[in-house]
Amino acid sequence: MTNIQFDFGMVGLGVMGRNLLLNMADHGFSVIGFDKDIQKGAALESSATPNTVVKGVSTLAEMVQQLKRPRKLMMLVPAGKPVDDVITDLLPLLEDGDIVIDGGNSHYTDTLRRLNGLKGNGIHFMGVGISGGEQGARTGPSIMPGGDPDAYREVKSILEAVAAKVGGSPCVAHLGKGAAGHYVKMVHNGIEYAIMQLISESYDLMRRGLGLDNDDLHKIYRQWNEGELQSFLIEITADIFLQKDDKSENRLVDMILDKAGSKGTGKWTSQDAMDLPISVPVIDMAVALRDLSTYKDERIQAAALYRTGHAHIDVPQEVFIQQLQDALFFATIICYAQGLAMLQKASTELAMEIPLPEVVRVWRGGCIIRSSLLETFLKAYQANPSLQNLLLDKDIAQLLLAKRQHMRNIIMHAAQTGYAIVGLMASLGYFDAYRSEHLPTNLIQAQRDFFGAHTYQRIDMPGTFHTDWNHRG
Ligand code: 6PG
């Protein structure tokens, strides 16, 4: 293999980097990877499929020297300083026209900074979101590239080869200018947080509220996965309930501490939504609940103080489960609607030119939020690529209208029995507010003008007005 010039290089041979490289090799590309940990280079070679061209090296220079020009290489290292460190090490080794891809979950503003910084050096820098976890990287992830379209053309055939396929079409597309790839991935993760929160609420209502056991739950989620809720997250949820614990007699899910971790992408979505501004309250609530879950000691004190028990939901099981399925479906649509509305807004506000139909098409396979609902959304965006919000699409409206009563019933029962279903509640609240021609915000404007002379607009004439509220007429 000594004189080979390789098609693609990878910096960082953790499980994601290694699997993606092996996936490329399986599709006929010659690949070379570098990791500071020499063992990982060896592990890469030993896990390669026979007759594929895969090499692990122990210095960055060795890797760069053996790449075809223009060089195409990806970094899959932790977001933040490690990305900047790799760029610093790479710079003296690269030449004009080389393409450097950041395939991690970097914040899009970091990507913009790096992109602009590297332009002066003649290097094409691309932020590319990759979703699907370890398994996805190996067998077909969803890939969200953004940035320089010329650089994308250079790597397109490799990315298309390794991406998941839906109906023969690869789950990858150029998703916009600048840092659009990482922006789309950030919002993907925000939606991921929101749907996970909703599923956890449905689990709580059935586990504690109805008193179902793990086998029952497995069957219900499996059944849901065969219907309109079909999705990767529902599928893995069904499987989770069967997993036995190897350290006790119980199922593993019952032995896991109820404190959620997070690496920040959900929070970034909420933060950026507020900056745009656009409302994504289900995502906000999902982030807030992960945070609240970490306050375990305080929750224990509060549970004793408020005598929080396991209140039984007194509704016939079958009726409740059917209504819950509809409520989850309703709320899941709202999560996607919020995330996609955010992308539509960012597309213009941040000048990213994000093609919404392509985003939805790419999310249909390989990624964590893939679901059969995306086919319906694709139709909506194909009919109107500049659709501001999925809730304005007639077919989506029919879906929501058909489920809304069950959504209300579930929220009523859960509120009466004291279950924390903040994601479901935020979904319904958003739906009710978004579809309201009249909101009580006229009163907020009056209050603002009363105490702060912040002015208001009128419904009957143009202009900006202020009233001296203390002198009532
Ligand atoms: C994906 C995932 C992936 C990762 C999340 C987890 O699309 O493959 O989103 O990127 O699992 O970053 O995020 P938290 O640790 O914040 O839950």
Contact in structure between 190 and 280 (CB atoms under 8 Å): yes
Q: Ligand 1, residues 172, 265, 359, 369: which to mutate, most atoms within 8 A of Cβ?
A: 265
Q: Is the shortest distance between the CB of 105 and ligand 1 below 6 Å?
A: yes
Sorted by sequence, the CB contacts under 8 Å of residue 376 that are 6+ apart come out as 395, 396, 399
Domain presence at residue 221: yes
What is the CATH classification number for the domain harbouring 130? 3.40.50.720
Query: In the predicted model, what is the mean pLDDT of residues 118-130?
Result: 95
Same domain, 170 and 189: no
Q: Could you read off the pLDDT of 154-183 as tens digits, one per residue?
A: 999 999 999 999 999 999 999 999 999 999
Same domain, 92 and 130: yes
Domain presence at residue 179: no
Q: Is 472's pLDDT higher than 80?
A: no
Same domain, 193 and 129: no
Nearest CA to ligand 1 atom 10: 131
Query: In the predicted model, what is the mean pLDDT of residues 317-321?
Result: 98
Nearest CA to ligand 1 atom 17: 262
Same domain, 367 and 463: no
Domain range spanning residue 274? 185-434
Active-site residue list: 185, 192
Separation CA 82–CA 80 (nearest Å): 6
Tokens of 465: 């007005």
Same domain, 389 and 450: no
Instruction: Give the nearest ligand 1 atom to 193 CA.
Output: 17
What is the CATH classification number for the domain harbouring 466? 1.20.5.320
Separation CA 427–CA 391 (nearest Å): 12
Q: Could you read off the pLDDT of 251-298 as tens digits, one per residue?
A: 999 999 999 999 999 999 999 999 999 999 999 999 999 999 999 999
Q: pTM of whole model > 0.95? A: yes
**Would you state the pLDDT for residue 473?**
62
Same domain, 456 and 417: no
Q: Is the shortest distance between the CB of 131 and ligand 1 below 6 Å?
A: yes
Same domain, 223 and 298: yes
Same domain, 127 and 244: no
Give the mean pLDDT of the chain: 97
**Would you state the pLDDT for residue 301?**
98
Instruction: Give the nearest ligand 1 atom to 264 CA.
Output: 16
441 CA → ligand 1 middle, Å? 37
The domain boundary residue, chosen from 174, 200, 227 = 174
Same domain, 363 and 450: no
**Would you state the pLDDT for residue 227?**
98
Q: Could you read off the pLDDT of 12-41 as tens digits, one per residue?
A: 999 999 999 999 999 999 999 999 999 999
Same domain, 305 and 385: yes
**Would you state the pLDDT for residue 412?**
98
Q: Ligand 1, residues 192, 233, 294: which to mutate, most atoms within 8 A of Cβ?
A: 192
Domain presence at residue 2: no
The domain boundary residue, chosen from 119, 147, 174 = 174
Domain presence at residue 420: yes
Strands 169-170, 99-102: pairing kind: unpaired
What is the CATH classification number for the domain harbouring 289? 1.10.1040.10
Partners of 165 in the beta sheet?
170
What 3-state class would DSSP assign to 137? helix
Q: Give, rounded to a whole angstrom, the gap between the first and last alpha carbons of the chain.
A: 90
189 CA → ligand 1 middle, Å? 6
Residue 124 phi, psi (nearest 5): -85, 120
Q: Is 309's pLDDT higher than 90?
A: no
Q: Is 3's pLDDT higher than 90?
A: no
- Reported as a pLDDT band with limits 50, 70 and 90, residue 2 is low
The domain boundary residue, chosen from 153, 174, 195 = 174
Q: Could you read off the pLDDT of 373-424 as tens digits, one per residue?
A: 999 999 999 999 999 999 999 999 999 999 999 999 999 999 999 999 999 9
Domain presence at residue 3: no
Instruction: Give the nearest ligand 1 atom to 369 CA.
Output: 7
Q: Ligand 1, residues 283, 368, 371: which to mutate, most atoms within 8 A of Cβ?
A: 368
Q: Could you read off the pLDDT of 62-120 as tens digits, one per residue?
A: 999 999 999 999 999 999 999 999 999 999 999 999 999 999 999 999 999 999 999 99
- Reported as a pLDDT band with limits 50, 70 and 90, residue 1 is low
Contact in structure between 108 and 127 (CB atoms under 8 Å): yes
Q: Is the shortest distance between the CB of 367 and ligand 1 below 6 Å?
A: yes
Q: How many other β-carbons are positioned within 10 Å of the β-carbon of residue 287?
A: 24
Domain presence at residue 220: yes
Same domain, 405 and 458: no
Same domain, 265 and 363: yes
Sign of torsion, CA 195 196 199 204? negative
Instruction: Give the nearest ligand 1 atom to 368 CA.
Output: 7
Total domains in the chain come to 3
H or E element that contains 128: strand 124-131
Sign of torsion, CA 329 334 339 341? positive
Q: Is the shortest distance between the CB of 189 and ligand 1 below 6 Å?
A: yes
Q: Could you read off the pLDDT of 239-252 as tens digits, one per residue?
A: 999 999 999 999 99
Is the N-terminal amide bond of 385 cis, ω within 30° of 0?
no
